A and B are shown apart, each in its own frame.
Chain A
């Protein structure tokens, strides 16, 4: 809301420079966002919070200011008018839609340009001047907060006002010259035949007040805030009136605003009131609620040491009625414009606001030992992050919403995804059921920006059915870490990613992790593996299918992906391994070179070695895989390095030869391995 300081001074006197005034208003809850110099005036733009529709006008702001500055409020004197007995024809279809409607008919009015004092005030705020009658309605809206509308009475068919919902198919051309289609969710003001205004939002062109108008009907009403808001959104049409109706106008101001406008029209445009009707006047008595609040409550909540007298003074300055409700107790009735005051805390907030938050004391809270346990997954997630950044992976954070298309392109169609009812764009259709499309999108955009080496991970949620699951996902593409001492940087591959995962499992103390070949729609055939520890499935790893990459516009590039279930990792990792004593005796390393049938996996060979090695075997390291002419067809070469060590004694040459020989024999017997 924009206000002119010059105009504001009509209602409260002050001498503050604009910056000081802005600060006072801001610190009272009316935040001034902009101060604009306008010649001999200064325009303030302020944000009025939704609970304070009473401050969307000059009188309301002046009321606040008078309390904050401790200066008297000067409201214009409106002479009490004697209205004729003649009633105009007003009909309200549903009281819920329109709580009050005052129609005042005036004639003969002389429609012409506004007097200077109104013209300059409206122009200062950037308002367009129309004619004296229309300008007066706008002036009164800004002064009192009551939206008003004047109809050319002679153009109202049947001389009648009907407040009703629009009928399906009805149309209206509004004052801005646009034809608008209406439906029954929109409240309209109609005459005997057709809508002549969209209630609370904008009048119609057909009944506009022009220089030819002689007789007018002035509307002052209360419309349902929700109805106006929805209609305004539906029609894409906002106005100063709709803004105020949406936030709620005051039942009492419906009458005060009308009276002020009528008296100004009589002065500036002449004529007299020939008919009037106030429909539903019973609601006028809707007054502020009576609230009882004790000084103890006030000081307990604020941490202050205010006195009853101080609180009473503040509330009175805000036009609250205050009476004693016993020792140290205040009985408070807010003015009717303050519909937001209903409970003791509302009153306490008023006192705090006027005292000034900056003037209230500052203490440190006592934070006691509490019932809420820390969430151990939070530090665990940081541990995982540390493991991956330590291995050169960048952490990403990506959107949880995706397009259906990105799922289809990822071979992820057909999952029980969670759909968004009201996405703004196709990119927000579904909650992601996997981190795969998110990470692949990131790798793609980096590659397309010329950044070919990507090693990323994300710890984020996926959404399936009605549940949310945390996942860890890792993706890599490009070459291994650069080293200028090496001639060529080797391409980053499956084993680099697997190595990173193994590092994580080792750091988490997961020893029994097994990889098993498996097929997966988004992995290249023959490269996918499932990962488990005992019976717990942990995740999957593999090279991304090349055809799939093509669809993502990633060409001639290998991309590797792994995902792990965060909860499963957390549960297994929290089983703490115990300390193992290490041997004081020297260890001996022996290599073993094998020719192994192609269909025998590394895992099987290793298992046999470990099992046969028993207590003397300390460690098995894999040295080399070989394929080529030096080995018989159908076989591959494996070289292992085995460390033997006893915890009881220094092993003799004989001990080691026996152990090593046993392992060789077991491999020959169980796997048909040939020694090389």
Chain B
């Protein structure tokens, strides 16, 4: 009869004393190999008495399991102890990824703003930049002798207006002619946002550019109210600038809306206390808006008195400058990689 406890104890001691894989292999051969101890034990079964047989069988199986397990364990330990450190990779080295480019910040801001309105049922439309005096001024109730029509305030083109020979085409000085383009083409109800470039002959400095982006908004239907204008722009400002901002609607003047308003938001720097960013006012002017002047509706031959509408316009660069603390408008058009890569 085999003394399984003694055999197991001795085997485990020997295994535990292993220092390398060769020794472990030798022990495997000694115990588990073809001519090793365990085959010998199993072979002895044939001579064992019927009472001993199950005991030997059970004991041998247990022994084999324990030795196998111990050998696996020791192999792992020995492998770890003999690991070649030069095979270790520096997991802190930088990963390698394909470079991703960046959408221009103005594109991003335009899309952010447009998507807010798209979510509210508006559609995005774009209008031409080379416009007629009718679209840019007359239809918007801007009188013939208005200063903004002067060559000091509007770029005129050498091209003649095909519909009004004698007059020149111009570069739109705001996106509001986009309102006229839409209304000439479609009957209400309509709700559009019109993003695009506009041009003014301003001397370029940190806050002026001869080209910049605006977004125009227009909603025309029966029974559109001033209270709707307030509600719509409140939703917009809170989504764009954050729920916590405070807004105010301040009376203003635009020839193409009446009543007209400018919207201010509480200064994000000083929270309304007054600082250099808001010019000590505590408020930042962010957009102009109002109820569409009935004279604009008559310019596009909408039936008198049937429709009311709301309109608004905002400067995209200004929004970006406020949101990201950019102080020079020229940087948008320089396209320095160090600027583009930040957004």
Contacts and interface: CB of A to CB of B under 8 A. Distances in A.
A445 B336 contact: yes
B10 interface: no
Contacts of A394: 101-102, 104, 335, 337, 340-341
Given A33-B279, A390-B100, A397 B332 contact: yes
A485 B197 contact: no
A367 B191 contact: yes
Contact of A360 (B224, B230, B334): B230
A363 B227 contact: yes
A345 to B, nearest CB: 4
A484 interface: yes
Interface string B82-105: 000000000001101011111110
A640 interface: no
A233 B151 CA distance: 11
Contacts of A16: none
A422 B155 contact: yes
B123 A372 contact: yes
A367 B260 CA distance: 21
A456 B258 contact: no
Contacts of A154: none
Q: Which of B151, B219, B253 neighbours the largest number of chain A CB atoms within 10 Å of its CB?
A: B253
Contact of A345 (B103, B182, B258, B341): B258
A391 B98 CA distance: 8
B225 A484 contact: no
A565 interface: no
Given A451-B337, A463-B130, A481-B98, A420 B156 contact: yes
B336 A446 contact: yes
Contacts of B259: 302, 345, 348-349, 352-353, 357
A302 B104 contact: no
Nearest to A35: B280
Nearest to A467: B130
A349 to B, nearest CB: 4
A363 B252 contact: no
A357 B186 contact: no
B215 interface: no
A502 interface: no
A559 to B, nearest CB: 15
Contact of A364 (B185, B235, B262): B235
A468 B100 contact: no
A399 B123 contact: no
A346 B340 contact: no
A396 B335 contact: yes
Contact of A358 (B219, B248, B258): B248
B281 interface: yes
Contacts, number: 268
B155 A420 contact: yes
B129 interface: yes
A370 B150 contact: no
B335 A302 contact: no
Contact of B228 (A229, A303, A424): A303
Nearest to A226: B145
A423 B211 CA distance: 12
Given A395-B340, A428-B210, A370 B190 contact: yes
A454 B295 CA distance: 51
A357 B157 contact: no
Contacts of B334: 442, 445
Contact of A370 (B102, B123, B235, B336): B123
A537 interface: no
A454 to B, nearest CB: 7
Contacts of B252: 29, 31, 49
B201 interface: yes
Contacts of A40: none
A357 B336 contact: no
Contact of A398 (B186, B203, B333): B333
Interface stretch (A373-381, A593-601, A602-610): A373-381
Interface string A459-490: 00101011010000000000001011100000
B197 to A, nearest CB: 6
B77 interface: no
Nearest to B227: A303
A352 B251 contact: yes
B308 A421 contact: no
Contacts of B235: 364
B47 interface: no
B24 interface: no
B321 interface: no
B333 A399 contact: yes
Contact of B248 (A27, A52, A375): A27
Interface string B253-266: 10000111110000
A423 B152 CA distance: 10
A413 interface: no
B129 A365 contact: no
B79 interface: no
Given A357-B261, A392-B99, A302 B227 contact: yes
B7 to A, nearest CB: 54
Interface string B173-215: 0000000001001111111100001010111000000110000
Given A364-B232, A468-B129, A401 B211 contact: yes
B156 A349 contact: no
A123 B310 CA distance: 45
Nearest to B129: A468
Contacts of B123: 370, 372-375
A371 interface: yes
Contacts of B197: 400, 461
B226 interface: yes
Contacts of B136: none
A300 B252 CA distance: 21
Contacts of A361: 227, 230
Interface in B96-121: 96, 98-104, 106-107, 111, 114, 118, 120-121
Contact of B201 (A303, A346, A422): A422
Contacts of B190: 370-372
Nearest to A461: B129
A52 B251 CA distance: 12
A386 B295 CA distance: 42
Contacts of A415: none
B249 interface: yes
Contacts of A233: 150, 152
Contacts of B192: 372
B169 interface: yes
Contacts of A400: 129, 197, 199, 211
B249 A357 contact: yes
B225 A456 contact: no
B223 interface: yes
B101 A304 contact: no
B268 interface: no
A33 B230 contact: no
Interface string A331-350: 00000000000010110110
A431 B156 CA distance: 11
Nearest to A349: B259
B6 interface: no
A424 B203 contact: yes
A442 B335 CA distance: 6
Contact of A423 (B120, B155, B223): B155
A401 B250 CA distance: 35
B124 interface: yes
A422 B275 CA distance: 38
B107 A345 contact: no
Given A301-B226, A370-B121, A399-B210, 6 more contacts: A301-B308, A364-B235, A366-B228, A394-B102, A461-B197, A481-B98
21 contacts: A27-B251, A29-B253, A51-B253, A52-B253, A302-B259, A345-B258, A345-B294, A364-B231, A364-B232, A367-B189, A390-B101, A395-B104, A397-B106, A400-B211, A420-B157, A421-B151, A422-B156, A431-B157, A446-B335, A481-B98, A483-B96
- Would you list the 7 A-B pairs with minimal beta carbon distance, nearest first? A303-B227, A29-B251, A367-B121, A303-B225, A49-B253, A365-B228, A389-B101
